[in-house]
Structure 1
């Protein structure tokens, strides 16, 4: 092109640009300000299913009727809604400078705006019922697709499985509809808006809307298209819904089946179709029914079939029997119009009788957890692989129930629960916690909000009603005692007579079938257990598993199993919700609190309450849950007789076997394997073992250990998996603390500020004024160059911070770091020993510790500890013990006591007595926030080693608590002055430290304790450790021997 032509073209383009009509704007978007408008043009709710064109297709992605819209979409983001594009819906809109975003995703994890974590507050300035207008981020999405004439020959449905919070949808420039309710599908029939070739789907999503007042759950607040998006087509005459109602007759052995299929005719003329419904057990037909139907134009009819099925296989979480359900809609004149649907059905009966929930006639126990949908990389977008990992871990750990807190979960999760067996509480996506706290602002008492509430519940019901795993509907979470819940409860009871309906804020009122409290104290459980209430009790949340927690879980279950109307509960909760971030050096860490943004309100690490971390690695307390939830009770009757009780309600033990071991001082003396058991549910069996010793060596400890083992691999449990176990003390050792000195006599030399006690084996130097150890060398190898110090403190757990331990008990933190030592009895020889005495005085003379050190000529050091309070009204003590620091070349630890996991005074049901060993760097757990970790209870002896020597501690008159860290305690400790900002909801203080920040040091700290208080776990916002697990300020005495050993 020559210069003149080029100039002319440029001028023409400018003229066209000035004269081009502006693109049409979207109609005014005001629905998200109006709680009375929560949807427009959405199709009615329906069950989750897909109508294949043939029985030969089983994967939806292989169907010609399916078009996946997941993947990259063009994306535009603004924080101020006034800045959002308003002509984006036009097909000729220029989005060439837009970026792309993956769908599904939360835009906050893709670099747009920030996640916000709050528990009890809204993430915006609340001026209810108004919606933010200045800072209310908007995401605008566009996706171009190509459609063929064949695809468009059928009815075309646009499916959003979940999008948050308010969505306006457009196709080819035309407004399609509006949706709220982020955890149930939004479907739109877009047949009339589509054309062959290129088509545009566009939408705008507002982060906050009036719907946000109903979606204030305790989780990361994020936005975006969170679940799958796709197109699917249906013939003009199609199955629009189905309901496979199942129940049992009064014998609990015969199944009641009522099948309802809704058939819609979208065409303009009468249609004839043959409908066939078949129930199959494997390849065997159990029930089949066929009928030819006339469906009027533009209408929907229902097809019904009823059948009583004798000797049906029942569904339960223990034996999740499923029957295949096939629905075939055929056009005998045109096979292209065929629809084939394959789903699953389970037969069960749920009822309440005599203040008990009965499942198939049995008063089952709910051994459950609460589960949020969360992923460390993708936020609220959870993969199928992650869901499969969750259910496998739950089954491996004897968990039998899950609450979908606090919203309907992905339908695939319910399919897994159906298939592998979990009892499910399906919860409506309703929580208005911040407003529910005050009766004057409770949305639930505003009847104008009834349609928004009841519609969310109805959409959950219609989507999920065919899942046998669901035994209960929940009206929502922490939304107050509102009147809107009464008609919602009534509606559910009218539509479903084979499930219960529950709502925690209702207490024992008439719009909940259960008394389902949160975090009740033991006395309230006992009070209900002893009451004549007609309502059973299943705790909807209990055992708050934040950080180092889940103490006294066994105590809960001792109470539950005592009273018939107490039937278990759901631990809060399953998984930590942190996201993985990376620091400036590229090192990953689990983010919380102000990591997301330093200026946003936050409740810190209160989002991390899981039994597993975000990657699904178990926290130590998961083993406690597995043990307490196990379905077996063992009893040793003496004389080699073991009694086994099957605590299941439906499953026998035919797929298991017993393994047993006789341990003497922690070492296997004898073992039995492959013992056949087949105990029926709720029954007992006795096993006779031979040989079992009748006489015992007094100095030895004899323990019988029993394990129930998975005999062959099952879908969820590998071969050899240990389901349950127990240990029984056959003989407790009578072993006085041995301190026989031998070797050459010790010499005492004073030089300047030091006193040196030595012979050819050992050299101990102490400070002449304080009496504290300056160095200890054994056979040329250094043991330590630091004192053995008294310790009254522990790095606060999350529960500790929640009950203000850092302030209530601060004097013990000060005492640990700021005591004064005084040598009050200088070293004196006594035969082949040297004895000296040190007094430790606390900063304000609260108490005094007197320690007598005795060094033997063979290198052993005996420590006699005596604690004496000096003031009245002292607070409880976190720890009574001592610690020493050693060089980092000590790398191995071995102990005889409880293990292998950490354990605590109120959390040691799940640990076995035995001999364990490992690397010192592995003897702590990186909780999301650094805190107390790694304790071992009931330790007879422990030994740490390097290449040259070992140092062994032997308990004296009291079994020890011990832990060993590859760093010093300050690495875990909480500093209130530097690290204690108040949380937005007044909960656990907001801290800055992360588990990933813990640095392996050049020093090893070895804690050798008389006792450490329990970790608690009733809740993390004030509950104290139970009285039986606290350390009162009273005199304590204990002793131990430190024995150096040349390797």
Structure 2
């Protein structure tokens, strides 16, 4: 436990004090040795109420000791410091022509300046360590407030929960303080500056300062007061800080509780107070005790409590058991001076043993995500409702851990993680990525910068240390190596022995407890697991979820499950960071790149790497994450008709859950069953006999099993699917060919065309190329476009990052320029009419042979044979055909994986079944248009107009891939930005197109593919799709039939 003396020494510490004269002579925001003036020492996040009832409600706004200052403030903005209002703080300054701005708010969201998006560059050209002097916007704020009369003899604290980047504070015209560090509180004792009645608060804030060198995170660069501002008051004798220890004994059974408090006396007399504590759960008081404390005049007194609680319910992410801690400081002579605090605590241990991270003595697996604080309408100002939405979605999708990338998050977020159960890495607000790229410029060995770094770590630690959900501290992100970080590590270990500390750039050095690589290749991860390491490995970032991504996720987890020292990772990242803008017609779109600032360098849409979009709508790859992260394993044994379910949880049993099973015959449910209220302990397996009955030889049978909640629990409602699996118990067989009972065909030729016709069908071919130029059935036009070969897909963000638009450009040309020649003219046979085409691809790199068979019933069979003609061709993005239809076709249905889009390396989450929907809904609007809407393992797929239904199914038992779009490929294809495609950091090429701009409704493109390569996702800046999910050049065959039917 932390000693009381340590707590007191912190509160006596002067962070940095400077006389007013120094402030008037130099710019503090350009001096990295000064990062705080008159700023109070950090402390735990709490509010002390005047009654126990108010403390139980824990709504500061209901207290007479709290005044919110959030709302509209007077505001003046200028782009250059030289044009700032220098006397902004003067009481008699005329500010009548100033604007009003919301507080909290980012300036740029409110129309002052521009957001800037860069990853590996600073948003200014000034060289370290200088702050920009020319273009460096300055915001001046003025706000009046009144102090209640009953506060007149109280200490008044001004609290900024988060303000960026450098802030000068004046009260009633007097300099009151200065602050840097935008993601932890800045508090000032303003008691001595206050007047009776109305008071003036004045702030001048610089967008960039020397602190900006430490705040270069991969996010939209914005500024302003980003979190709430309020005043609160404390009696002369008050609780200054407290620290909770809530651990477990060596048997992980009994709770070990410790509480250290620091009581401050600002009066000029010694005071005596009663300090009471109480621990309760569900209304039952488990511990109650009190001490009498003597606090010297102008001093601080410490106090400790230590107790043992038998058989506690331990906190984990799976079982977030919490207890109520009530702390009361009572004045026997005047109850108006009483203080009451209520906090929730959790008993848990964090240890590293045998190169493994343990919670409560058991090895855990991190199924995590990295999360930025972002909102499409308010930027970095995030509401409680938004946070609640985030944690609900995470829990519903089997995510058990979150990293506060790359700064301490809003305190309410940690309360939610405590309450609902997420393991948290709390990360210091430190990233100097552009400097860290070069060993010669990184700050890790610049010891003069140690105080600025340490201040950020200290303020994170003291604010957040009482949260059970925080199991790891992070020293920052991508800020280089060196003694600065070794010192930060040693400081954290000296004050907190209850958690591990990590830092990714430290690698395997001695100033990180965790080996936490970024984006390791699967083979590198496996090699680490094989190496008998001395540290657990948890990927701090992996599976870069930019655009259509998160392929091969299960492959990572197959490796993780094999090696004890591999304990999971955090997917980058949770939510796309785009802001919502409006176009010239008032229509919303998700902005990125040069949308924000047309004249500055940009990294384009590299800020959109989320599992959900900015509105928190899931991207399709979130469903794959839920499937891979599920905490149940299913195994089916056909011989014994036995289903095994293993509970992969470490702490929580599978109970309050029903197992439901369904037998599908050719995609349709024919038999169901369920087992109510499972009782499977963590790590244990239970078997269930399921009688499936007899199967028909020509049908496919699939057993689908699901775990469904039967009781509401936490954020999971009744009927929520926790996990599922599906087993093909009898495989698909292509339907037999139809009987040829239609009328005979006639074949007629003209100078340009060949016409094939019977009373069902008319097919008109280009006489030379053999391509179909018109196809009708029962008098209704199916299409007046040929069925064309397709080797191309609109590049995903991952494709752009590995240069696919360049190295595979030959396949785009092949799609656009493939030249057909009829090599077998239509010939009538007992099968109908057969004709054959050969496509020569540009430069004769490959040949494609298509054999068409038109049956008397009007069914059009296609046999596809592809063969390369030269060596060293690049991998092929897609192998297939596409048919262009009119927009009369509005509906689709399919028997395959769904309902969301799936790809070869991202299809485990797609349940095999029959789905239907509107064609206009069969694509996903990523922020930048790209490949979308694919369906895998297709047994059949249909499109429907008001008059016709067209059905495609394979005829060679090879399942198809494909999609149906209400537009053509050009709507999705990559178009580089107006100033070129180069990103500022050399990452994914830049575009200016938006998903909202995709035009639908004029045509339908039906992609009928043999296969398409996977989407990848190891990284988005170079790593290709894994070999097993590519399409290497070679011979390929597949066959399908298109069957028209009148409605």
TM-score, normalised on structure 1? 0.97
Q: In the aligned structure 1, how far is the partner of 2:544 from the partner of 2:454?
A: 30
| Paired position in structure 2 for 1:19 | none
State the secondary structure of the residue aligned to 1:575: coil
Show the counterpart of 1:817.
Answer: 816
Residue 643 (1) aligns with residue 634 (2): no
Distance 2:1025 2:585 in 1: 39
Q: Which residue of 1 aligns with 2:679?
A: 678
Equivalence for 2:13: none
Match of 1:766 in 2: 765
Asked whether the equivalents of residues 746 and 832 of structure 1 are also in contact (C-alpha less than 8 Å), the reply is no
Aligned to 2:48: 51
**Other-structure match for 2:557:** 557
Q: Which moved more, 1:650-659 or 1:104-113?
A: 650-659
What residue in structure 1 maps to residue 910 of structure 2?
A: 911
Other-structure match for 1:605: 605
Contact 1:698/1:733 (CA < 8 Å) preserved in 2?
no
Shift of 1:154: 1.2
Inter-partner Cα distance in structure 2 for 1:409 and 1:771: 64
Partner of 1:288: 288
Q: Distance in 2 between matches of 1:547 and 1:980?
A: 20
- 1:394 maps to what in 2? 394
Structure-2 separation of matches of 1:115 and 1:48: 30
- By how many angstroms is 1:978 displaced? 6.7
Q: Secondary structure at the match of 2:124?
A: coil
Q: Deviations over 1:751-805 (max 9, x none)?
A: 2311111111111111011111111110111110100000000000000000000
Question: Shift of the alpha carbon at 1:972?
Answer: 0.4
What is residue 272 of structure 1 aligned with on the other side?
A: 272
Q: How far apart are residue 88 of structure 1 and its match?
A: 1.4
Partner of 2:210 in structure 1? 210
Aligned to 2:784: 785
Q: CA deviation at 1:330?
A: 0.7
- Is this contact kept in 2: 1:794–1:878, CA < 8 A? yes
Give 1:675 deviation, angstroms: 2.9
SS of 2:896's partner is strand
Counterpart in the other structure of 2:1007: 1007
The 3-state SS of whatever aligns with 1:188 is strand
Give per-residue Cα distances to partners, 1:328-350, cap 9 Å, x unaligned.
00101001001000001100000
Please give the alpha-carbon distance, in whole angstroms, between the structure 2 residues aligned to 1:681 and 1:811.
53
| Rounded Cα–Cα distance in structure 2 between residues aligned with 1:394 and 1:175 | 45
Q: 1:540 — aligned with what?
A: 540
Q: Secondary structure at the match of 2:24?
A: coil
Match of 1:658 in 2: 659
Question: Does structure 2 retain, via aligned residues, the 8 Å contact 1:426–1:470?
Answer: yes
CA contact (8 A) 2:898 2:913 kept: yes
Question: Structure 1: how far apart are the matches of 2:101 and 2:549?
Answer: 39
- Number of aligned residues: 1022
8 Å CA contact 1:118–1:219 kept in 2: the answer is yes
In structure 2, distance between residues paired with 1:913 and 1:735: 16
Q: What's the offset of the Cα at 1:131?
A: 1.1
- Contact preservation (8 Å) 2:976, 2:991: no
Residue deviations 1:780-835 (CA, integer Å, cap 9, x gap): 11110100000000000000000000000100011111111111211111125111
Matched, 1:31 2:28: yes
Aligned to 2:64: 64
Which position in structure 2 is the counterpart of 1:522? 522
Per the TM alignment, residue 151 of structure 1 is displaced from its structure 2 partner at its CA by: 2.5
Shift of 1:739: 4.4
- Match of residue 127 from structure 2: 127
Q: Distance in 1 between matches of 2:1015 and 2:875?
A: 14
Q: CA deviation at 1:391?
A: 0.1
Match of 2:258 in 1: 258
Cα-to-partner distance string for 1:605-651 (whole Å, 9 max, x where unaligned):
00000000000000000000000000000111223211110000111
- Taking the aligned partners of 2:459 and 2:340, their CA distance within structure 1 comes to 24
Shift of 1:196: 1.5
2:962 maps to 962
Give me the whole-angstrom Cα distance separating, in 2, the residues matched to 1:736 and 1:671.
Answer: 26
Residue 696 of structure 1 deviates from its aligned partner by: 2.1
Q: Partner residue of 2:1041?
A: 1041
Aligned counterparts, 1:923-1002, within 5 A: 923-957=922-956, 958-975=958-975, 980-1002=980-1002
Task: Check whether the contact 2:896–2:912 (CA below 8 A) recurs between aligned residues.
Answer: yes
Give matches, 1:310-709, under 5 Å: 310-638=310-638, 639-689=640-690, 691-693=691-693, 695-709=694-708
* Map 1:132-171 → 2, pairs under 5 A: 132-171=132-171
- Alignment partners' CA distance in 2, 1:336 and 1:976: 67
Matched residue SS, 1:516:
coil
Q: Provide the residue aligned with 1:840 in structure 2.
A: 839
Q: Is the 8 A contact 1:26 1:89 kept in 2?
A: no
Q: Deviations over 1:677-720 (max 9, x none)?
A: 1100011111122x322x42221011111000011122301110
Contact 1:742 1:832 in 2 (8 A): no
Task: Tell me which residue corresponds to 1:41.
Answer: 38
Q: How far did 1:460 drift? A: 0.2
SS at structure 2 position matched to 1:477: coil
Matched, 1:239 2:239: yes
Q: Which moved more, 1:282-291 or 1:898-907?
A: 282-291
Task: Confirm or deny: 8 A CA contact 1:979 1:992 kept in the other structure.
Answer: no
CA drift of 1:25 comes to: 13
CA RMSD of aligned residues (A): 1.2
Q: Is the 8 A contact 2:879 2:1011 kept in 1?
A: yes
User: Deviations for 1:123-150, whole angstroms, at most 9, x for unmatched residues?
Assistant: 0004111111111110000001122211
In structure 2, C-alpha distance between the alignment counterparts of 1:410 and 1:423, rounded to whole Å = 16
8 Å CA contact 1:1016, 1:1026 repeated in 2: yes
3-state SS of paired residue (2:468) = coil
SS at match of 2:105: coil
On the 8 A contact 1:265/1:300 being kept in 2, the answer is yes
Q: How many angstroms apart in 2 are the aligned matches of 1:221 and 1:700?
A: 58
Q: Residue 439 of structure 1 aligns to a residue in which SS?
A: coil
Taking the aligned partners of 2:22 and 2:585, their CA distance within structure 1 comes to 46
Contact 2:764 2:773 in 1 (8 A): yes
**Alignment-derived partner of residue 175 in structure 1:** 175
Is 1:77 the counterpart of 2:81 in the alignment? Answer: no
Distance in 2, matches of 1:978 and 1:292, equals 72
How big is the shift at 1:378? 0.5
Alpha carbons of 1:541 and 1:363: their partners in 2 closer, same or farther (altered >3 Å)?
same
**Between 54-63 and 902-911, the greater mean CA deviation after superposition:** 54-63
Alignment of 1:742-753 (within 5 A): 742-753=741-752
Please give the per-residue CA displacement for 1:1-38, whole angstroms capped at 9, x wherever unaligned: xxxxxxxxxxxxxxxxxxxxxxx998345111111111
- Matching of residues 107-126 of structure 1 within 5 Å: 107-126=107-126
Partners of 1:61 and 1:948 in 2: CA distance: 63
Displacement of 1:734 in angstroms is: 3.7
Preserved CA contact (<8 Å) 1:1014 1:1025: yes
- Does 1:712 find its partner at 2:706? no
Q: Residues of 2 paired with 1:470 and 1:637: CA distance?
A: 41
Report how far residue 597 of structure 1 moved: 1.6
> Would the aligned equivalents of 1:26 and 1:86 in 2 still touch at CA under 8 Å?
no
CA–CA distance in structure 2, aligned partners of residues 391 and 844 of structure 1: 55
SS in 2 for 1:413: helix
Structure 1, residues 138-189: CA drift from partner, whole Å, max 9, x if none? 0000001122211233110000000000011010011111100000000000
Contact kept? 1:705, 1:728, Cα under 8 Å:
yes
Once residues 1015 and 179 of structure 2 are traced to their aligned partners in structure 1, the CA distance between those partners, rounded to angstroms, is 45
| 1:831-882 per-position Cα deviation (integer Å, ceiling 9, x unaligned) | 2511111111112111111101111110000000110101111111000000
CA distance in 2, matches of 1:829, 1:637: 50
SS at match of 1:183: coil
Contact 1:745 1:832 in 2 (8 A): no
Check the 8 A contact 1:25/1:86 in 2, yes or no. no
Post-superposition Cα deviations, 1:922-974, rounded to whole Å, max 9, x if no partner, equal 00000000000000000011011012110000112210001000001110011
Is the 2:975–2:991 Cα contact (8 Å) retained in structure 1?
A: no
Maintained 8 Å contact 1:899/1:916: yes
